[in-house]
Amino acid sequence: MKYTNGELAQHVGVNVETIRYYERRGLLAPTSRRSSGYRIFTDSDVSRMKFIRGAKSLGYTLTEIVGLLDLMNAPETRCIQMKEMAIQKVSEIDQKISELQTMKRQLQALIKTDCEESAHPATCSKRPAYVGVPLV
């Protein structure tokens, strides 16, 4: 089947601007153009877009997705290479979770402080370190 930019966007559930952006980033290339100048996409482009959306939902960046697509298209690629990228992504997610947990603990400590309700944050003796730091 053949799709215009708008039809492809509608079929995979993204904005037309997303299709254009992916084209500019080299993630997607129209197969051909109609005489009217409209870009033409195929079912393989639908599959590619679904792959991109799935990878994005797993936290991969567009740069990483380009790497994944390159691996998928290279005949010498082995499954272990894709697995290694997934292992790396899990490691990055674990690091982010740790950072978010630290942030949460710090905010919970702030919530638990017993400041005088009428005190200004800059003068409160129980303020967190970032409160009262001059803004530049």
What are the angstrom distances between the C-alpha of 21 and each of 24, 47, 57, 78, 106? 5, 17, 17, 29, 38
Domain boundaries, the chain: 1-58
Q: Evaluate whether the domain defined by 1-58 bears CATH number 1.10.1660.10.
A: yes
Residue-wise pLDDT for 73-105, tens only, equals 888 989 899 999 999 999 999 999 999 999 999
Answer whether residue 113 shows pLDDT above 90. no
Cβ burial of 37 (10 Å; 0-12, 13-18, 19+) is exposed
Residue-wise pLDDT for 102-111, tens only, equals 999 988 887 8
Residue 12: per-residue pLDDT? 94
Q: What is the pTM of this model?
A: 0.74
